[in-house]
């Protein structure tokens, strides 16, 4: 099992980190480190995230990290990190097709 980050998910992490960094650069770095650490847990516990309610597909799951949703898809031999979104943002279903 391996973890693959979509370009969209990496872009979102970068943007969120830059936004947090405007007020607190060390908190931004810590947040990004925590996101990547949290995702690593999926290597041993791929089903540890809850099923994304908007799609109700057991293969599409999310980890909650603070105010953010880390949305991923479980595949045969990999986990694809699809996007990272603030919990209050609507989830466009097209972001799940990465």
| Residue 57: domain span | 2-89
Q: How many domains does one find in the chain?
A: 1
Query: Could you tell me if residue 94 is inside a domain?
Result: no
Residue 98: predicted pLDDT: 62
Q: Tell me if 78 is assigned to some domain.
A: yes
pLDDT tens digits along 4-30: 999 999 999 999 999 999 999 999 999
Domain for residue 44, yes or no?
yes
Within 10 A of 65 (CB to CB), how many other CB atoms are there?
A: 16
Q: What is the Cα–Cα distance from 9 to 81, expressed in whole angstroms?
A: 6
pTM equals 0.91
Domain assignment present for 38? yes
Asked, for residue 95, whether it belongs to a domain, the answer is: no
Reduced to 3 states (helix: H, G, I; strand: E, B; else coil), residue 51 is strand
Q: What is the CATH classification number for the domain harbouring 10?
A: 3.30.2310.20
């Amino acid at each position: 099992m391996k973890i693959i980050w979509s370009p969209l998910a990496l872009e979102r992490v970068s943007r969120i980190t830059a936004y947090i960094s405007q007020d607190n650069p060390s908190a931004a770095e810590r947040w990004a480190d925590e996101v990547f650490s949290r995702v690593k847990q999926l290597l041993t516990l791929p089903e540890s995230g809850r099923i994304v309610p908007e799609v109700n597909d057991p293969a599409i799951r999310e980890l909650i990290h603070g105010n953010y949703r880390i949305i991923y898809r479980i595949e045969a031999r990999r986990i694809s990190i699809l996007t990272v979104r603030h919990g209050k943002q609507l989830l466009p279903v097209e972001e799940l097709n990465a």
